[in-house]
Amino acid sequence: MSVAANTLSQYRDQLRSNRLGLWLFFISEAFLFGGLLVARFYLWGGTRPDLDQVTGLIITSILLLSSFFMYTAEVAAEHENRKTFLFSLIMTALLGTAFLVGVVVFEWGGHIKPWDGAFGAVLYGMTGMHALHVASGIVFILIVWYNGLKGHYTAERHWGVEACAIYWHYVDVIWVFFYPAIYLIGTVPT
């Protein structure tokens, strides 16, 4: 076996451990977000705060679209399509930022404040913890984009891109459950 083939073989072995480690991290994170979901259903029950439904739908759609661009970036990296890879990553970061702006400006800037009882505490706890993960995901994307710009990834070696993509999609999966729990389930108390 040549040195290059041997190194690639080692890389693939390492890749399996990396993937397993990342998924174990996601399982531990699921307990954190699961706890917030349980708090929502325990404290809010069949009610929900009076939030703008259209804003909720728009920011959810933005995050969904960002996931599509992240998927495109990963496929582009797998096929060494550098231009599409870099463009899709930047689009993902921009859409992630738009999502953050939507949450911080339109939801946190509304009439509900963190000190407004169970509604405020749970709403800010859920959206705040999720927004923190979105923000760290954006930083992660920008690091991968910079590395991609310097040509650090190839079709065979792009674990950084894969990890970043999986992390971003995980953040999207969390919002898939948070969106109906915050905006759709229950009735607004009169």
Partner 1 sequence: MNDKKRAAYRTGIIVFLILAALTAGEFYLASISGAAAGLFIIALIKAALIIRYFMHVNRLWAEEGHE
Contact positions vs partner 1 (CB under 8 A): 8, 11-12, 15, 19-20, 23, 53, 57, 60-61, 64-65, 67-68, 70-72, 75, 78-79, 81, 155-156, 158-159, 162, 165-166, 169-170, 172-173, 176-177, 179-180, 183-187
Specify the residue, 100 or 165, whose C-beta has the smaller distance to partner 1. Answer: 165
Nearest distance, CB of residue 181 and partner 1, angstroms: 8
For the four alpha carbons of 68, 70, 73 and 75, in that order, the dihedral sign comes to negative
CA distance 181 to 166: 23
CA distance 72 to 12: 23
Nearest distance, CB of residue 169 and partner 1, angstroms: 4
Specify the residue, 17 or 115, whose C-beta has the smaller distance to partner 1. Answer: 17
CA distance 148 to 182: 37
Specify the residue, 8 or 98, whose C-beta has the smaller distance to partner 1. Answer: 8
Specify the residue, 114 or 160, whose C-beta has the smaller distance to partner 1. Answer: 160
Nearest distance, CB of residue 68 and partner 1, angstroms: 4
Q: With contact defined as beta carbons under 8 Å apart, do 172 and 63 qualify?
A: yes
- Residues 6+ away with beta carbon under 8 Å from 45: 186
For the chain, state the CA radius of gyration.
19
Q: With contact defined as beta carbons under 8 Å apart, do 90 and 15 qualify?
A: no
- Residues 6+ away with beta carbon under 8 Å from 174: 33, 130, 133
Nearest distance, CB of residue 101 and partner 1, angstroms: 20
CA distance 80 to 95: 23
Nearest distance, CB of residue 39 and partner 1, angstroms: 16
Nearest distance, CB of residue 185 and partner 1, angstroms: 5
Specify the residue, 64 or 112, whose C-beta has the smaller distance to partner 1. Answer: 64
